[in-house]
Structure 1
Amino acid sequence: MAQAQFLSPQQVNRLPSSPADRRIHYGSEPFQFGDLRLPQAPGSHPVAVVIHGGCWKYRHGDLTADLQNTAALSSALTHHGIATWNIEYRQIDIPGGGWTGTFEDVANAIDYLRLLAKTYALDLNRVVIVGHSAGGHLGTWAAARHRLPQQSYFLFEDPLRVVGVVNLAGVVDLEAFLPMQNQSCGEPTITTLIGGTPAQVPERYRLASPSHLLPLGVKQILIYGAQDKVVPPEWGQKYAEAARKTGDDMTFTSIENTSHFELIAPGAEAGDRVENAVLWLLNLKNKESEKIGA
């Protein structure tokens, strides 16, 4: 039997997408910007903050991990009547990225929605985060910022609260995933992101891993590909079980015949499931009427 052919990041980058309505900088650095897409319908729009992955690293040989990877997903969500804020951020090989710049960029981009809402018709009471791979980790972490201790590396006076997170093949326990980082990313990207090992900087891991910030107090949907070798689904399942024990509203699903990048490819079954999950979190679709996950 021939081995199934799964999508590459290059193929996802070539998927059709509508152009962004605006490219807007949320900070002064070159990588502190996002693409805003707005639905054509009148009225105030719910918002999905979309965060691309790439092992927290911008350059991968001839390939770059940037917001083009989530352009098709953003475009598809906007087609459903959701404003999308597809963000770029400084990764570990960009000046200022890593600890703490990568985290602060994602957080500041999300909070920048308050300023965008003064110009554009955005409903800040209906904001969800959709993150893929490293972006799934960062998005889940950002949703948990209200759980950070007051005295820490991060000071966010009033984090924008979100109604939910859709984590697509994201790493949610950085310390546990360390033995996989070289296999999945080709180098110790988590160690670089955090600036050391758990033995060297244990407090940073406690602040950076969603698993250490439970309960998050927001709805979470975790979606993984059953054939994903980059972030196998059992990593998400362990976190989901721990989150449920703390009382979090958690949905976990593993999709068959799906690897890492099908999750951000509109038109495939996995892409449809992801779109349905976002629509459900925003109360735009009845969960029972669509297959999202159990």
Structure 2
Amino acid sequence: MKALLAGVVVVAGWALAARAELQRDIEYGQAGGERLLLDASVPDGAGPFPVAILVHGGGWDSGDKQGSDKPGNGADITPWFAPFTAAKFTWFSINYRLAPKHRWPACFDDVQTAIRWVKANAAVYKGDARRIVLVGHSAGGHLVALSATRSNADTRVQAVVGFAPVTDHEQDLAQRGGLSIALQHLLDRPREVTPDALTQLRAMSPVNRVRAGQPPVLLIHGDADKTVPMQQSLTFQKRLKSAGVACELITIKGGPHGLLTWSKLDPTYEAAMIAWIRRTLGEAGN
């Protein structure tokens, strides 16, 4: 395994900066001929600290655990790192296998592998395996939302946060004229919506897999999102509540699909997110 790179992260933009050791390129598994890697941020102090597993977006065919493979684009998740570090979470940012080299469900399977690895190894990084939140944006939001609906004993977490998550693959087929390029890459299918393709899209849509007893969900969505319509989060929330699953929604007024401007549009949403996660996870030992 490649030697771990360690450093000290000083968080700017929060009133109380926190110190954390950042360890890069930790192997959490192997699949499809690839090493599956994650980065770990470990807070200063004794712990155990609550744990966040961060899942980047990028249309299932791009994106990166360090923020993005193209920093500053719509898939850039760097805005997550400061609030979770400042709030003293042990956080793990994961990479997963990407399309078109790796087709569905490789990316989903890797998220499940990461959850199992984190639960087994959280204590090594001062984390509390009984207080884990899954966080995902866009395609990553799809993966964490689906993980919540399909979890079992070894992959269940205590909370899920979806940033502009894709929850209904059928919803915008008409607007896109069939399967998007991203879905064509992911599923190895043409643009045409065949009955078989529609069956598959419905099966992999979290909105159709909601069940009672799954972890509570926080949805955060910009109302100016032109990539994943906010209606998807509104419908998903309604479906979750109908099943008795706790779900809150934070709307970013004027927020686009990418996260980079959200804190300027709504300076309170990051604190509200952290507060919701803390309430939902509870205290250590509970």
Q: Same fold (TM over 0.5)?
A: yes
1:162 paired with 2:157, answer yes
Q: What is the CA–CA distance in structure 1 between the aligned matches of 2:147 and 2:267, rounded to whole Å?
A: 23
Q: Output aligned runs, 1:239-278, within 5 Å.
A: 239-262=236-259, 267-270=263-266, 272-278=268-274
* SS of structure 2 residue aligned to 1:276: helix
Partner of 1:190: 183
User: Aligned pair in 2 of structure 1 residues 163, 270: CA closer, same or farther (>3 Å)?
Assistant: farther
Pick from 222, 228, 237: which aligns with 2:234? Answer: 237
Q: How many residues align?
A: 254
| 1:247 shift after superposition | 1.6
Report the CA distance between 1:87 and its aligned residue: 0.8
Q: Shift in Å at residue 198 of structure 1?
A: 5.9
> Deviation digits for residues 130-169 of structure 1, max 9, x if unmatched?
11111111111112223xxxxxxxxxx7432211111110
> What secondary structure sits across from 2:228 in the alignment?
coil
1:126 to 115, 128, 131: 131
Q: 8 Å contact 1:25–1:33 — kept in the other structure?
A: yes
Aligned equivalent of 2:95: 88
Deviations 1:85-112 (A, max 9, x none): 111111213x3x2212111111111211
Structure-to-structure mapping, 1:21-32, within 5 angstroms: 21-28=23-30, 29-30=33-34, 32=36
Structure 2 partner of 1:47: 51
Q: Give 1:48 shift.
A: 0.8
CA, structure 1 residues 41+235, in 2 after alignment: closer, same or farther (shift >3 Å)? Answer: same
| Pairing 1:115–2:115 present | no
What's the counterpart of residue 138 of structure 1? 143
Query: What is the identity, as a one-letter code, of the residue corresponding to 1:45?
Result: F
Distance (whole Å) between structure 2 residues aligned to residue 193 and residue 65 of structure 1: 20
CA contact (8 A) 1:38 1:84 kept: yes
Separation in 2, partners of 1:87, 1:118: 18
- Quick one: which amino acid aligns to residue 27 of structure 1? G
Give the unaligned 5+ runs of structure 2. Answer: 1-10, 14-19
Q: Distance in 2 between matches of 1:110 and 1:27?
A: 11
Residues 170 and 198 in structure 2, CA contact (< 8 A), matched pair in contact too: no
Cα contact 1:166–1:278 (8 A) shared by 2: no
Which runs of 5 or more structure 1 residues have no equivalent in the other structure?
1-14, 147-156, 287-294
Structure 1 residues 32 and 170: alpha-carbon distance in aligned structure 2, compared to 1, 3 A threshold: same
What are the superposed Cα offsets for residues 22-72 of structure 1, whole Å, 9 maximum, x if unpaired?
A: 43111235461111101113220101111111111128xxx8369x92234
Q: Check whether the contact 1:145–1:159 (CA below 8 A) recurs between aligned residues.
A: no
Q: Can you list the C-alpha shifts for 1:156-185, whole angstroms capped at 9, x where unaligned?
A: x743221111111011011223334579x9
Partner of 1:215: 211
Asked if structure 1 preserves the Cα contact closer than 8 Å seen for 2:222 and 2:254, the reply is: yes
Which residue number corresponds to residue 223 of structure 2?
226
Q: Which AA in structure 1 matches 2:160? A: V
SS in 2 for 1:27: strand
Between stretches 17-26 and 243-252, larger displacement belongs to: 17-26
Structure with a larger share of its residues in strand: 2
Query: Quick one: which of 270, 275, 280 aligns to 2:276?
Result: 280
Determine what percentage of the aligned residue pairs are the same residue: 25
TM-score (structure 1 length as normaliser): 0.74
Q: Answer with 231-240 or 174-183: which moved more.
A: 174-183
CA contact (8 A) 2:54 2:134 kept: yes
Shift, 1:213, TM fit:
1.1
Partner Cα separation in structure 1 for residue 110 and residue 12 of structure 2 = 27
Partner of 2:42: 38
Coordinate RMSD, CA, aligned: 3.3
Is the contact between residue 50 and residue 74 of structure 1 (CA under 8 Å) also seen in structure 2? Answer: no
Q: Secondary structure at the match of 2:22?
A: coil
Query: How far apart are 1:190 and its partner, in Å?
Result: 2.2
SS in 2 for 1:231: coil
Q: Give the distance between the partners of 1:269 and 1:40, measured in 2 at CA.
A: 31
Q: How high is the TM-score relative to the length of structure 2? A: 0.76
